[in-house]
Amino acid sequence: MNWRIKQVDRLVAYSVLSAVLATWLLLTGLDAAKAFIGAAADIGQGNYGIGAVMLQILCTVPRRAYEWFDSAALIGSLLGMGALAGTGELIALRSAGLSKLRICLSVAWSLGVLTLLVAVMGDTLGPRGEQQAQSLLLQAKSSSVAIGQRSMGVWARDGDTFINAKRGITRQVQGLREVQLSDVRVFEFAPKGQLLSIAVAESAVHSSGQWTMQKVRKTEFVDAQANSTTEASVSWKSGLDPRYLALSIVQPAYLSISDLRRNIRALKRNQEFSRPFELAYWAKVFWPLNVLVLVVCVLPFAFGALRSGGMGKRIFVGMVLAIGWNFLQRALVNVGAVYNINLAFATLLPALLLALLAYLYFRRA
């Protein structure tokens, strides 16, 4: 097989990339419009107006574009190949001696550079835009909570008390949303600005309407002395609203690879639960490979459908395959996490299984 770029590669690239870009723009636009409609319901809370909503949604566009690219690549590739099939060019390529594998690899080559560019965007503009969007949302709705940059974490104010948490997560426990802060520091000041005490806690959890700090070391400053005490658990009386704290917490899937790696190291060093960050880390690392493997391995199974169906059928096939792939990937990753299988292998396993099926198909063909 001659692997040099030929006219056929340019033909396939033009047809596929134009369809992928159009599909990508449509999916991202619909997702942003849906988010705008949902956010518009909160207009009027604090300084949250139509301008703040539009700016917030605009900041999340890079993240949304990254999340929808895999589906757009799959559906767009099917549409592009369907366009070639509709004009008879796909049959002409097959008659000229090009195998299905060679044509599918032309699709992969045309998508390869774009996929890498999107991966870079998802690791740079996506996390920064998401953080900026959440910061804008908090500034408009609440003046007591702010998002710090990089390792600064979350800052919040409760009267004369200032709270800093390096990390935070939200989770569902028995149907209730729970906010957990890690590596917490609470600075208590007097009305005139004197520092009264510093409390350092391993974690702080808001559950059942109250805050509880674990493994607390508190230092109180009285006159010229500093008195330190240590307690395993302390009930924290704070009027800090966990709803706004939940808004300030950036989800692991929205962090960059470097930030995820930094959080994983910190959590493991402190012997804390790091699995959500590890899952997000390996999903980002293998994302370009998963996209290309999915496109290359699915196209051969759709060749027959592309020759006999119209655009509606191609879109339906693409949607079914994209949804099926997402379910398979999540199921295998969750099973691997439950049985303590290496998370890198569990994340890569769906792509390996799909590649094996494709290999058997091409070998038989």
The CA–CA distances, whole Å, from 276 to 160, 168, 283, 343 equal 34, 12, 11, 10
Do 178 and 204 belong to one domain? yes
Average confidence (pLDDT) over 85-105: 77
Q: Is residue 235 part of a domain?
A: yes
Do 179 and 218 belong to one domain? yes
Look at residues 173, 205, 240 and tell me which one is the last residue of a structural domain.
Answer: 240
Q: Is residue 245 part of a domain?
A: no
Do 118 and 264 belong to one domain? yes
CA distance 136 to 48: 9
CA distance 100 to 90: 10
Do 236 and 92 belong to one domain? no
Do 179 and 314 belong to one domain? no
Q: How far is CA 211 from the centre of its chain?
A: 28
CA distance 187 to 203: 15
pLDDT one-digit tens code per residue, 33-91: 999 998 887 777 767 788 888 998 999 999 999 999 998 998 888 888 878 877 777 77
Do 123 and 202 belong to one domain? no
Q: Is residue 76 part of a domain?
A: yes
Q: Is residue 138 part of a domain?
A: no
**Model confidence at 3: pLDDT above 60:** no
**Model confidence at 337: pLDDT above 80:** no
pLDDT one-digit tens code per residue, 215-236: 899 999 887 788 888 988 888 7
Print the domain residue range for 217.
147-240
CA distance 298 to 11: 20
The CA–CA distances, whole Å, from 34 to 20, 27, 59, 168, 253 equal 21, 11, 15, 27, 20
Q: How many residues does the chain have?
A: 365
The CA–CA distances, whole Å, from 315 to 36, 130, 311, 351 equal 25, 30, 6, 22
Query: For residue 1, what pLDDT band results from cuts at 50, 70 and 90?
Result: very low
Cβ atoms < 10 Å from Cβ of 227: 10
Average confidence (pLDDT) over 122-139: 84
Q: Is residue 142 part of a domain?
A: no
The per-residue b/e assignment along 267-283, b for 16 or more CB within 10 angstroms, e otherwise, is beeeebebebbbbbbbb
Q: 189 - beta bridge partners?
A: 195
Q: Under a CB-based contact definition with an 8 Å cutoff, are residues 121 and 28 in contact? A: no
CA distance 206 to 238: 10
The whole-number pLDDT of residue 315 equals 63
**Model confidence at 13: pLDDT above 60:** yes
List strands edge to edge, sheet with 195-207. Answer: 145-147, 154-158, 161-173, 176-189, 195-207, 210-222, 225-236
Helices 7-40, 61-86: axis angle to 10 degrees equals 140
Q: What is the token pair recorded at 324?
A: 């099926």
Count the helices and strands in the chain (H runs, E runs): 13, 7
Average confidence (pLDDT) over 174-179: 62
Angle ∠(329,334,338) on CA atoms, nearest 5: 155
**Model confidence at 327: pLDDT above 60:** yes
Q: Under a CB-based contact definition with an 8 Å cutoff, are residues 78 and 16 in contact? A: no
Query: For residue 103, what pLDDT band results from cuts at 50, 70 and 90?
Result: confident
CA distance 329 to 88: 35
Q: Is residue 116 part of a domain?
A: yes
Q: Is residue 98 part of a domain?
A: yes
> How many structural domains comprise the chain?
2
Do 125 and 152 belong to one domain? no
Do 123 and 45 belong to one domain? yes
Do 201 and 299 belong to one domain? no
CA distance 10 to 93: 13
Look at residues 213, 240, 267 and tell me which one is the last residue of a structural domain.
Answer: 240
Do 198 and 103 belong to one domain? no
- The residue that leads in pLDDT, 278 or 236, is 278
Query: For residue 134, what pLDDT band results from cuts at 50, 70 and 90?
Result: confident
Q: Is residue 291 part of a domain?
A: yes
Q: What is the pTM of this model?
A: 0.75
Among 261, 277, 201, smallest CA distance to 234 is for 201
Do 176 and 273 belong to one domain? no
Do 183 and 235 belong to one domain? yes
**Model confidence at 175: pLDDT above 60:** no
Look at residues 240, 271, 305 and tell me which one is the last residue of a structural domain.
Answer: 240
